[in-house]
Amino acid sequence: MGGSPFDIEDADRPLIAQRYRLMKQLGKGSFCVAYLAVHTKKPASHPHLCVKVEKTDNEKQRFRQLHFEAKLYEMLRHEDGFPHARHFGKEKGFNFLAMELLGPNIDDLYTANDNHFSLRCVCGMAMQMITRLESLHKYDFIHRDIKPENFMIGRYKKASVVYLSDMGLCKKFRDSTLNVHIPFQTNRSLAGTARYASVNALTGNEQSRRDDIESLGYMLVYLIKGQLPWQGLKGDDRKQKYSRICECKRQTTTEALCAGLPSEFSQYVSYARNLKFEEDPNYNYLRGLFTTRLTSLSKETPSSGRHFDWISKVPQKFADIIHPPD
């Protein structure tokens, strides 16, 4: 977004809407910057929040991402595993969204765990991630940017809850009133991340539920193997790079992609790749694949429900987020 809206190194930390004191920058995306903030009016009930800020002076921006995100979070407020939006507002030169502060994203946890997750951990995540997609799709939206960075864990007692976040690229795939699916189209620009994007998305086809499902499959394979065959491919420009990634994905068979993994992974990817454009995914079947495998693993090595590597072996970097302070 061309630089942070605020210099939070200054002694006077910015105050938004006369209540949100920005403390430090947490992350930065294409359109907005996320900050750790404190609620000066309600310090007891909301000691810390995440406040996202976007500039509003970019005329090329087709829509205001934060307003769109705020409405989606409000729509999903009764569903588990989505951050709660607290306050969307506008101030001169920018919009802001105050929301629930979550823990680290899955990519950061993966890196902190030496780029490795156990099979038990990935199966536990898969079950929740499939449910998050099912919940989002139930409201007639697709995510279009499934990747480790967009899944986060909760804090403290919710450290075993996996959240789906960053909804800025979501799109309606069905008219909620008429129950009519969007039409199939070609020559669409890629929305999402090429590493995890479906073959259809990279080809330029309109995305639907099947693309979220396929993207999640590639992400799960990455988290268990640490590498995907098309990583590192380059091109003279973005178009050529995407074309090479697409061709590699197309040529990589499910068997080759999932070689050395339990059969549930190849079953998942095969199912995802064969979904039709308007087809309603069988979330119970997909979730059941990993439920069965996790049950089998738990019988072999009981874990007292501690499926996730970041709980059984807490990374020092995130110890104060996963374990509450005394």
CA distance 164 to 141: 13
pLDDT at residue 60 in the model: 52
CA distance 164 to 161: 10
Query: Contact, 70 vs 88, CB < 8 A?
Result: yes
pLDDT at residue 62 in the model: 45
Identical fold for domains 22-36+48-100 and 106-311, yes or no, is no
| DSSP secondary structure letters along 184-212 | P--SPPP-S-TTT--HHHHHTPPP-HHHH
Spell out, as residue ranges, where the chain has pLDDT lower than 70. Answer: 1-12, 43-46, 57-63, 301-305, 324-326
Q: How large a percentage of the chain has pLDDT more than 90? A: 71
Out of 108, 140, 145, 309, the active site residue is 145
Sorted by where each begins, the domain ranges of the chain are: 22-36+48-100, 106-311
Query: Contact, 144 vs 171, CB < 8 A?
Result: yes
* In 101-237, beta strands by DSSP E: 141-142, 151-153, 162-164, 171-172, 174-175, 180-181
Question: Please, what is the end-to-end C-alpha distance for the chain in angstroms?
Answer: 38
> Does domain 106-311 fall into CATH 3.40.50.80?
no
User: For residue 301, what is the DSSP state?
Assistant: S
Is 145 designated active site?
yes
Query: What number of helices (H) and strands (E) belong to the chain?
Result: 11, 12
CA distance 101 to 83: 8
* pLDDT one-digit tens code per residue, 125-180: 999 999 999 999 999 999 999 999 999 999 998 999 999 999 989 999 999 899 99
Which of 31, 36, 45, 44 has the alpha carbon at shortest distance from 16? Answer: 36
CA distance 258 to 269: 8
DSSP-based three-state secondary structure for 66: helix
* pLDDT one-digit tens code per residue, 174-205: 998 999 999 999 999 999 999 999 999 999 99
CA distance 207 to 188: 9
Q: Provide CATH code, domain 22-36+48-100.
A: 3.30.200.20
CA distance 209 to 136: 10
